[in-house]
Amino acid sequence: MEGLALIYETRIGRFNNIRIRGRHVQLWLVDAYHLYELDRLLQEDEAQYQFAFKFVRAFPQIQKWSQLIILIRALPYRTWELQAAKKWYGKLHVLLRLNTQFHFFGLWLSTLGGAHSALGDTDRSHAIRAFHLGVQQMRVAQRMGNTYLEYMCLLHLSHGMIQLEQYTAARHAIERCWKVRQASFKYDDKFTQSCQAAWRRLNIALRKRRLKRLEMASG
């Protein structure tokens, strides 16, 4: 279990050479948001992919981590292997840099969008601004390849649709998120509660609209 301890203490983007079960390996920690691209890169190098897969199976605890994905590369001993490794790590550097930019931009959008959304119930201009910021945030999530974040953004967008009285669009967005929840995030409490909260808000808005129409008809 010495290997796990070293992995846990390693910061994102740093290398560590250690021995696991008598074999030298090189570790690189990368944010999980780019798992889909990194998996594609791994599959281009079949030997490396097989080694990484065996390592993850040997330590099931790794699969429980939500923030980090561990990529393993056997230490190269011949010159041509070293050159190949440099090229492969160059791709990782690009992904890591993009990931940092996406995180900063995403957090900025989330903070600004939340402020506008809070004012959107009483001021339509703020609701419109929050909606546009939410669309940008969802695009960032799509670019990052993070399906979970993408649909969480869509749920937040559904709240903006409700503020803008786009009830049909909001219902379709929530239904779409619920289908994804059933397929991929069934046991995620946060995602489930977010879907339920969006449904409740939509139902409350529709009930208020019906009451308003009844009052207008009776008056």
- 3-class DSSP state for residue 120? coil
Residue 68 has a pLDDT of 37
The conformation of residue 122, written as its DSSP 8-state character, comes to T
What span, in angstroms and rounded, lies between the C-alpha atoms of 114 and 157? 11
Cβ–Cβ < 8 Å for 173, 181: no
pLDDT means per 10 residues, the chain with 219 residues, are 32 40 45 48 55 48 39 38 50 58 62 69 83 83 77 89 91 94 85 91 92 83
**Element housing 158 (H / E):** helix 147-163
Distance CA 155, CA 84 (A): 43
Determine the pLDDT at residue 67.
Answer: 34
Please give the pLDDT value at position 206.
94
Could you tell me the strand order of the sheet in which 15-20 lies? 15-20, 23-31, 68-74
The model's pTM: 0.55
Type of residue found at 37: E
Beta-ladder partners of 24: 19
> How many CB atoms within 10 Å of residue 118?
11
pLDDT value of position 88: 54
DSSP 10: P
| C-beta of residue 72 within 8 angstroms of C-beta of residue 103 | no
